[in-house]
Amino acid sequence: MLLTIEGLLSTDEVAALRDELSGAAWKDGAETAGTRSVSVKQNLQLGVTDPQAREWGNGLLSKLGRNPTFISASLAEKIFPPVFNLYQDGGHYGCHVDSALMRVPQADITIRSDISATIFLSEPDEYEGGELVVETEYGAQEVKLPAGDIVLYPSNSLHQVMPVTKGQRICAITWIQSAVADTPARSMLFDLDQSIQSLSVGRDKQDPDVDRLIHVYHNLLRRWAQV
- CATH code, domain with 196: 4.10.860
Domain end among 143, 160, 178: 178
Residue 26, φ and ψ in degrees, nearest 5: -70, 145
Residue 159 labeled ligand binder:
yes
- CATH code at position 170: 2.60.120.620
For 39-96, what is each residue's pLDDT tens digit?
689 999 998 788 999 999 999 999 999 999 999 999 999 999 999 999 999 999 999 9
My answer on whether 94 and 9 are in the same domain is yes
Residue 50 labeled ligand binder:
no
Residue 156, φ and ψ in degrees, nearest 5: -85, 5
The pLDDT score that the predictor gives to residue 47 is 82
Burial of 156: CB neighbours in 10 Å, binned 0-12, 13-18, 19+: middle
My answer on whether 172 and 194 are in the same domain is no
CB 195 within 8 A of CB 216: no
For 129-144, what is each residue's pLDDT tens digit?
999 999 998 899 999 9
Choice between 187 and 23, residue whose per-residue pLDDT is larger: 187
28-32, 163-167, 212-216, range with the lowest pLDDT: 28-32
My answer on whether 52 and 143 are in the same domain is yes
Average the pLDDT over 119-127 and give the result: 98
Residues spanned by the domain of 154: 3-178
Burial of 87: CB neighbours in 10 Å, binned 0-12, 13-18, 19+: buried
CB 113 within 8 A of CB 177: yes
Residue 76 β-bridge partners: 178
Indicate if the pLDDT at residue 98 is higher than 70.
yes
CB 169 within 8 A of CB 130: yes
With b meaning 16 or more CB within 10 Å and e meaning fewer, what string describes 50-61?
beebbebbebbb
Residues sharing a CB contact under 8 Å with residue 222, sequence separation 6 or more, in sequence order: none
Residue 92 labeled ligand binder:
no
Question: How many CB atoms sit inside 10 A of residue 184's CB?
Answer: 11
Distance CA 21, CA 42 (A): 19
Between the two ends of the chain, the Cα-to-Cα distance in Å is: 22
Distance CA 223, CA 218 (A): 8
Question: In the structure, what pLDDT confidence band is assigned to residue 36 with cuts at 50, 70 and 90?
Answer: low
